Structure 1
Amino acid sequence: MKRTTFPRLEARIAGLLYIAIIILGGWAEVGVRQGLVVIGDPAATARAIMAHESLFRLGFTAEMITNLIAIPVSLILYRLLAPTGRFLALIAVVFDLTQNTINAMNAWTQFAPITLLGGSPDLAAIPHAQLAAMARLALKWHDVGFSVALGFFGVALLIEGWLMIRSGYFPRWLGALYALAGGCYLANNFIFFLAPHLPVDPWIMLPSLIGEGAVSLWLLIVGVDEAKWRQAAVAG
């Protein structure tokens, strides 16, 4: 272990970035996408998007920022949890980066409505009603891609929560909340694809918000017990 390793500082950096992800991602989803979509009316949705085009573009930008800053968060969590179980921590970071990759590749579906509804001469031959329907379909595809990504993220959180419980340098209750968050993401994933009409949304996501919020705040405010972390790192 190198003396230049500063786990508490790294934890606080991860916590700050994690909070930014929660805020930006939540705003992009709830404040932008859900705020502009009119269920069952593609034409009204299209009008709302184009009437608030700048807001819609900001929402897309916020989502891309979350994808970018999620990468260092994943790597820092790997460094913090590796002393407890390097192989499990590696598996977790692979699942985490996989969900981030899926979300990044899925981002085009959020930007597609701007392309379809922006009045491009290349699309002039397509009736506006059809373009509006295609734009709404793109947003539905976004929901599908996001749900697929959440499945991978849920596995990552389950593993990382378990490692926190075992670590000795994170509180056991914090790891339990994080694992619960992962379990809820997985449950939401299966319900989305297998039983979409079950009335569990958004309540099933509440434990995930609590778990991620608790971990991000703990990382930012408290960090990690450096003495116990270094002891575990030397033993590993």
Structure 2
Amino acid sequence: MPSPRFLTATARLAGWCYLVTIVAGMAGALVAAPRLSTLATLLSLVFYAGVTLFMYRLFVAAGPVLARLAAVISLVGCGVGVLQELELPAGPVKSLVFFGIYCLLTSCLIWRSGLLPRWLGALLVLTGLGWLSFLSSRLVHFIAPYPMVSGLVGEGALTLWLLLGKVPAAGAAGPTPAAGETRVSNTKQLIR
């Protein structure tokens, strides 16, 4: 497990990248000038890639395969978002769908690692489901503005925690054992 200092620094860097992502993304959605809007949105996607890399560093010890999968999906979402923003062919799936999957995987990593409060993982599940609603434009229009509100609440709370929260000491939180692991390790101790 990485040192508490490393974990705290990584969490803070992820938090700052998240904050810029949220502010730039909101500016991109609200600014009327098309060029400024595009620039702000592209900036938010670049910083979301930074969020992805720092979150990977934070959670890789808790689940290397899951952390890699989450990072790849998020980076694909960033790439799709850039293509969509520049009005280039990007395929039929919106970038927010990739970010929805990323949020669901990150919630699993939060739950498993013990590094962040589990209620943040629960909020990210709601955020991920909200972003996944972008698979259907009819559904998004029907339930609007809830996907955006859940995104702001879930990722906003995560951002604040990354910036201000306390990261547990190395080994204090550790990964939550998978179902059956405790029983197996207890059995091994009895055999010794």
Q: TM-score range by the shorter chain?
A: 0.7 to 0.9
Task: Render the CA deviation track for 1:95-147: whole Å, top value 9, x for unaligned.
Answer: 100000001122212xxxxxxxxxxxxxxxxxxxxxxxxxxxx9xx99x97x6
Check the 8 A contact 1:168/1:228 in 2, yes or no: no
1:222 partnered with 2:160: no
**How many positions carry a matched residue from both structures?**
175
Q: Determine which structure has greater relative contact order: mean sequence separation of CA pairs < 8 Å that are 6+ residues apart, divided by chain length.
A: 1
Structure 1 segment 175-214 matched on structure 2, within 5 A: 175-186=121-132, 188-192=133-137, 195=138, 199-214=142-157
Superposition TM-score, scaled by structure 2 size: 0.80
Is 1:69 aligned with 2:12? no
Bigger-Rg structure (1/2): 1
Q: Distance in 1 between matches of 2:147 and 2:41?
A: 22
Tell me the residue number matched to 1:52. none
1:56 counterpart residue number: 34
Asked whether the equivalents of residues 25 and 63 of structure 1 are also in contact (C-alpha less than 8 Å), the reply is: yes
- Give unmatched runs, 5+ long, in structure 1: 37-54, 110-137
Report if the CA contact (8 A) 1:24-1:66 is conserved: yes
User: Hey, what's the Cα distance between the residues in 2 that align with 1:171 and 1:211?
Assistant: 13
Partner of 1:81: 59
Using the TM superposition, give the Cα deviation of residue 198 of structure 1 relative to its aligned residue in structure 2, in angstroms: 5.0
Counterpart code for 2:154? G
Map of 1:32-181 to 2, 5 A cutoff? 32=31, 36=32, 55-109=33-87, 148-181=94-127
SS of 1:6's equivalent in the other structure is: helix
> Do 2:3 and 2:170's aligned partners in 1 also have CA atoms closer than 8 Å?
no
Check the 8 A contact 1:170/1:224 in 2, yes or no. yes
What's 1:50 paired with? none
Report which of the two has the higher share of helix.
1
CA distance in 2, matches of 1:174, 1:101: 26
Runs of 4+ residues deviating >4 angstroms: 1-5, 229-232
Q: Would the aligned equivalents of 1:162 and 1:176 in 2 still touch at CA under 8 Å?
A: no
TM-score normalised by structure 1 residue count: 0.66
**Structure 2: segments with no counterpart, 5+ residues:** 176-192
